[in-house]
Amino acid sequence: MNPDPLEDLIDDPDKRAKVFMYFTIALIVSTFMIAIGTIIFILHILKII
């Protein structure tokens, strides 16, 4: 086993694709969470919520 686990992921194309999908999903979800949080924050500042 390689001491660097990231090297193991880069060597195998299937694992690389799976990690890419997870990172893509995480980026999309975090973008929506930031947008929703910003909207809720603005509504809270304007005393609507």
List of residues 6+ apart from 10 with CB closer than 8 A:
16
Confidence at residue 39, expressed as pLDDT on a 0 to 100 scale: 97
Grouping H, G, I as helix, E, B as strand and the rest as coil, residue 47 is coil
Grouping H, G, I as helix, E, B as strand and the rest as coil, residue 25 is helix
Each residue's pLDDT tens digit in the chain (49 positions)?
567 777 877 788 888 899 899 999 999 999 999 999 999 999 999 999 8
Confidence at residue 49, expressed as pLDDT on a 0 to 100 scale: 80
- Report how far residue 9's alpha carbon sits from residue 19's, in angstroms, rounded to the nearest whole number: 8
Confidence at residue 27, expressed as pLDDT on a 0 to 100 scale: 98
